[in-house]
Each structure stands twice: as structure tokens, then as C-alpha cells.
Amino acid sequence: MNLFYLLSNRHKRLAIAGDVQPGVTSIGAVKWRGVKLAGEPGASISVLGATDCQPFRGRASTVGWFALAPDGPATIEVVLAATGSGETVGPVNRIDLGPEPVAVRIPWSLQSRPVPLDLIVRQAEGSINPAFIAVHYPLDRRPLVNLCRGKGVELGPGPRPQIFPGEGVDVSYVEQTHPDDWGRLYGGSSEVNFDPALSDRYVVGNANDVPAEARSLDFIFSSHVFEHLANPLGHLEHWSGLLKSGGKIVAVIPDYIGSKDFLMEPTSIAELESEYASNNFDVTDAHYEAYGRARGDAKFGEELRRKSLSIHVHFYTHDNTAAICEWAVRNLGYSSFSIIHADNHKDFYLVLNKA
């Protein structure tokens, strides 16, 4: 779970006491994002109903969090408490901290306990120096973007594309409406930071009907688009037909555990195969219902459906994405793939190569 991201966005699953802020600290030569607990008794951060959330459903003893005290010795406590009553359940894990990171161990008990449980990380009484909970290190997106060479498209960039034309790069931007219509449809705010010099590179189309000739593209790039697509295997099949031999699908995809979708289970290959067999590219009522559950409110999904708003249709980690890529290599004309990910990061990077 990405505490840095959730705290920065004041997510309702987090409860804060005292001075607790998102922050960054260095571990070796790497800057880690995380949460800083001020050096005062009672400063704490709680994940409410943690046992409802991934990855805590599996009762993992560690989840990729590390604690340290950059400014002098500190002590934190990791506690499980009954949701609602706050009654401590099981042992308290007391961790003495110094400048070197220590894994944050969650003190699950083998005894029968009420569920759900809150997970609390707090400053111990008498601890006077700040503690830092390091959650993840940031991934570098530049090598991914640099793979987009030759002729290609960026899917759904809105007003802020990430691939730019230049020497060796000829890119078009595929959107459902042209920038000339954004102000009328969405209001002036949609044009913020938009470079009008790129306007002629926008073409109207959909991800399952990209306006390009067969075997004409060297790359297809997308960032935070794949999760919005029904029938992703069908999309991969369509894109395979547009790529030259050696072309690439290059994508940034949210990791549902490190994003706001942590209440969900990862989408299965069986579900995606069923969508592929139906040849349906439309988002369904069932997709909207699942999205509402991912936000803790099924009726929220119904409301979005009525407004025809875009949602996360499927939920991905590097694991089920690897299974999707293996399926695509076997069935859709791709040859290999690479995935770069980091525990608790809000997204991961994919490169899928055409044979």
C-alpha cells in the first residue's frame, strides 16, 4: 500500500493523529517517498480496516515498508486494533530506529481475532525524534519514453502528451475529440498547459480503432490508459496489426495495490479471455459496479455509469500483466516483454515487443 500517495491525497482510509506528513528521505543514493511522523507522543497513521485491503488480506508480515530515524534515535510501535473499538489485538511490535532502514513488521496473531482490523504505526511514548516510514522509491520514466522512436501514436494523452515530435520521432495523438472542441465540451480548464503547436498532431479515434495503416507503426505509447479499456486482449490484438515487426507497445499502468484500487482483486486471465471471446469493447454495468466497490461504494459506480464517465475497468499488478503478456506472445503475434515495477509504487512500466 502506497502511504505516501494516499496521505498526499488525504484518502478516507487513513486516520492521522498529530503531525504526520508525506515526505522524501535518502536511503543510500536513492530517495524514497514515505511518511514522516513528528517526534511527539501520539503521532500516528492508521490504515482503517486494513484487513479489507491488499496486501494485508494475505496477512503478510512485511509489505515493503521500511522505517528509519534520520535525525537521531526514535522508537515506533506497530499495532493492530479492532476497527470501531480501537481495542489492541495481539502483540505490539516496538521498533527502535536509527539511520539505517528497518523493515516494518506487522504483528499478526495466530489466535482467532475479530475482523476487520486497523493497522496503526505510531510514535512510542518518550520518543522525541521524527521517524520516517519509507514506502517506495520512484521509478525513472525517461528510459521508457526514450524507447518511443520512429513513427508512432500516443493514446489518450489529453492536453499533456509525454512523447514529443523531434529528430527520429514522428508521433500522433489519438483522442476521442479534437483539441479544438475541448473548450466547448469541457470548459477552459481542459486547455491548461496545452501546446497549440501540437494541435495538428491530434487525430480523432479510439484505442480499439486507431487511425493508422496496418504494420505502419514503430510504437504505441499510453500512460494510465490500459486500465480504462474493456477487452484489453482485443486491444492488444488490434495494436499488433498496426505495429511493424520489432515495434513496441510501451505503457505506464497503475498498480492497483499502490493506487486507490487496493480494495479489489487483480483481474484474472479467465475474465479477460471471456471478454475477448465476446469481441465486446464496451464498458458494462458489471465494470462500473466493480469500480464502485474499488472505491468502497457500489452506488458510486452506478452514478458514474449514469454520467457515462471513464473508470478503471480492470485492475493490474506486474504479476497479472505478465500473464497477459505471456498470453499475447502465445496468441497475438508478440515476441517478448519487459516489466519494471517497485513495491508500493502507484504504477509500473510495460514494453511488449511485436514479432
Residue pair 77/93 in contact (Cβ under 8 Å)? The answer is: yes
Cell of 185: 465540451
C-alpha cell at 218: 514503430
Phi, psi of 243, deg, nearest 5 = -85, 145
Distance CA 176, CA 205 (A): 5
Q: Residue 23 pLDDT > 60, yes or no?
A: yes
pLDDT of residue 60: 94
In the chain, pLDDT over 70 holds for what percent of residues?
A: 97
Distance (Å, whole) CA 2 – CA 343? 9
Confidence class for position 232, pLDDT limits 50, 70, 90: very high
Position 114 pLDDT exceeds 80 = no
Domains of the chain: 3-136 (2.60.120.260), 142-354 (3.40.50.150)
Per mean pLDDT, which range of 188-192, 235-239, 299-303, 314-318 is the poorest?
188-192
Q: What is the mean pLDDT of residues 223-251?
A: 98
Q: What is the pLDDT of residues 284-297, one digit of tens each?
A: 999 999 898 888 78
Give 85-106 pLDDT, tens digit per residue: 889 999 999 999 999 999 999 9
In this predicted structure, the answer to whether residue 24 has a pLDDT above a threshold of 60 is yes
Give the pLDDT confidence of 251-262 residue by residue, as tens digits: 999 999 999 999
Helix/strand/coil (H/E/C) assignment for every residue in the chain: CCHHHHHHCCCCCEEEECCEEEEEEEECCEEEEEEEECCCCCCEEEECCHHHCCCHHHCCCCCCCEEECCCCCEEEEEEEEECCCCCECCCCEEEEECCCCEECCCCCCCCCCCCCEEEEEEECCCCCCCEEEEEECCCCCHHHHHCCCEEEEEECCCCCCCCCCECCEEEEEEECCCHHHHHHHHCHHHHCCCCHHHHHHEEECECCECCCCCCCEEEEEEECCHHHCCCHHHHHHHHHHHEEEEEEEEEEEECCCCCCCCCCCCCCHHHHHHHHHHCCCCCCHHHHHHHHHHCCCHHHHHHHHHCCCCCCCCCCCHHHHHHHHHHHHHHCCEEEEEEECCCCCCEEEEEEEEC
- pLDDT value of position 81: 95
**Nearest of 235, 229, 252 to residue 314 by alpha carbon:** 229
Digit-coded pLDDT (tens) for 192-211: 567 889 999 999 999 999 99
Give the pLDDT band (50/70/90) at residue 302: confident
Q: Contact 259/5 with Cβ under 8 angstroms?
A: yes
Q: How far apart are CA 144 and CA 250, in angstroms?
A: 7
Q: 117: burial class by Cβ within 10 Å (0-12, 13-18, 19+)?
A: buried
Q: What average pLDDT score do residues 220-247 get?
A: 98
Name the residue among 202, 219, 104, 208 with its Cα closest to residue 157: 202
Phi, psi dihedral angles at 147 (to 5 degrees) = -75, -15
More confident residue, 110 or 275: 275
Q: Which pLDDT tens digit goes with each residue over 121-179?
A: 999 999 999 999 999 999 999 999 999 999 999 999 999 999 999 999 999 999 999 88
CB 233 within 8 Å of CB 268: no
pLDDT at residue 187 in the model: 62
- pTM of the predicted model, to two decimals? 0.93
Does residue 347 carry a pLDDT above 90? yes
**pLDDT tens across 210-224, in order?**
999 999 999 999 999
Within 10 angstroms of residue 201's Cβ, the number of other Cβ atoms is 19
Looking at every residue in the chain, the average pLDDT score rounds to: 93
Judged by phi (left if over 0) then psi (alpha if -120 to 50, else beta), residue 302 lies in alpha
Backbone angles phi, psi at 62, to 5 degrees: -140, 150
Return the closest-CA partner of residue 253 out of 225, 288, 294.
Answer: 225
pLDDT tens readout for residues 322-333:
999 999 999 999
Is 137:31 a contact under the CB 8 Å cutoff?
yes
Examine the pLDDT at 336 and tell me if it is beyond 60.
yes
Q: How confident is the model at residue 186 (pLDDT cuts 50, 70, 90)?
A: low
